[in-house]
Amino acid sequence: PPTPRGASWSSNDFSIAGAVMTTITDDLEGLTGVDEGILVLRVAPGTPAASSGLRGGDVIIRVNDDECEGVRDLQVAVQRASSRGQRRVALVVSRKQKEQSLTLQW
C-alpha cells in the first residue's frame, strides 16, 4: 500500500501527523519503564498529533485494541486505515505510569 501523505518511516522510527516516534529498545526500556511499545520523541505544536493529545514522552502500548511491540505495528495500522479511506487510529498510551486512550488523526 502507498505511504499515507505526511507519513515517513524507517525500521525503528516513524513520523506522522507532526509526531516523531521510535520503537522501545533495551536501551530505552530503562528510561520508560516499559519493555515494548513506541516512545513518542516529540510532537510539534499545532499539528494533528498535538490536537489528538499525543505528547513527547508518551509510550504507545496499544493500537486499535492490539498490543503494540514497535513502530511496525503502528505502520501497519496506519496503512490499513488509509487503504479504507480512514485517517485515524485508536491508541492507548502510557503517560506517567497511567494509561490513557487517544485517537490519532492525520
Residue 63 lies in a domain: yes
Residue 3 lies in a domain: no
Looking at residue 11, its pLDDT comes to: 57
Tally of domains within the chain: 1
How far, rounded to the nearest angstrom, does the alpha carbon of residue 66 sit from its chain's CA centroid?
13
CA R_g for the chain: 12
105 CB neighbour count, 10 Å cutoff: 15
As given in the structure block, the three cell numbers for residue 33 are: 519503564
CATH number at residue 92: 2.30.42.10
What share of the chain has pLDDT > 70, as a percent?
90
Q: Is the pLDDT of residue 3 over 60?
A: no
Residue 33 lies in a domain: yes
pTM of the model: 0.85
Residue 52 lies in a domain: yes
Residue 2 lies in a domain: no
Q: CA 89, 5, 95: angle at the middle one, nearest 5?
A: 35
Distance, in Å, from the CA atom of 54 to the CA atom of 46, rounded to the nearest integer, reads 12
**Burial class of residue 46 (count of CB atoms within 10 Å of its CB; 0-12, 13-18, 19+):** exposed
Distance, in Å, from the CA atom of 72 to the CA atom of 89, rounded to the nearest integer, reads 14
- In tens, the pLDDT along 44-94 reads 999 999 999 999 999 999 999 999 999 999 999 999 999 999 999 999 999
